[in-house]
Amino acid sequence: MTEFTDAAPAESLERAATALKEHGFGVEILDDAAAARDRVGELIPDGASVFTSASETTRLSGIEEDLNGRRYEAVKPRVLAMDRATRADDIRRLVATPDFVVGSVAAVTETGSLVVASGSGSQIPAYGGGAGRAIWVVGAQKVVPDMATALRRLEEHALPLESARAQAVYGQPSAINRLLVLNAEAPGRVTVLLLREAIGF
C-alpha cells in the first residue's frame, strides 16, 4: 500500500507544518531519524522524567533506547519493574504526568490535526495534556490530506501492523480502543519533529 508507506512530498510536509503552527503546535521539519534523535536529546534536560510510549518510530531511531538510559528519570523501566497488582495507582500516575512524553502519532493532516490511537490507553493521558511537554517524531509517510484519510490510514494500514507487533510481543492483537484527535494546543507544550523520510508504522 504505497499510499500510506511512501514519504509525502515536500509541499505536503510544508502545508502540514504551517497548519500545525497555526494551531499552537511547535513544528520542526528534519531530514531523518538521526537528526530527530539528536534534536530530542537537545530538547530534554538531564534528569527530567520521561515516558516513552510504544512507538516503532522511536524504537527504530534509537530514541527510545536513549531516553530509557541513565541520563533521565525514565518512567518505562521503572513501571515495568513495579507489581501491577499492588502498585496500579502508582503506575497510572507515573505514566500520566511525566515531565516529557515522547512517541509518535498515527497520522498528521495537512489541515493541522494529529491522530493518536491506542489499545490500552496508556499514552493517552500524557499525550492529551498530562505531560508537561510532548515530543512526537513523525515519519513523512504519516502526512495525509485530511481527517477522513487519516482515519483510513489508521484502520487500513497502521492497525494491522500494530496488531501483528502486539500479537508477537503480548500474545494478543491490538485494537482502536481509544482515539485521540488533537486539533490545537497551548503554545510551548508540544513539539512535532516532522521527518522528510518514512519511518515507523
pTM, two decimal places: 0.96
C-alpha cell at 81: 519493574
Question: Structural domains in the chain?
Answer: 2-195 (3.40.50.10420)
C-alpha cell at 126: 500524557
pLDDT over 80 at 2, yes or no: no
Q: How far is the C-alpha of 117 from the C-alpha of 100, rounded, in Å?
A: 19
How would you list the strands of the sheet with 178-182, edge to edge?
Answer: 143-144, 107-109, 114-118, 178-182
- The pLDDT assigned to 104 comes to 98
- Render pLDDT for 20-79 as a digit per residue (tens, 0 to 9): 999 999 999 999 999 999 999 999 999 999 999 999 999 999 999 999 988 999 999 999
pLDDT band with cut points at 50, 70 and 90 for residue 190 = very high
Q: At a CB cut-off of 8 Å and minimum separation 6, what does 45 contact?
A: none
> Of 187, 193, 19, 178, whose CA–CA distance to 109 is shortest?
19
- Report the relative pairing of strands 114-118 and 107-109 from DSSP bridges: antiparallel
pLDDT over 80 at 185, yes or no: yes
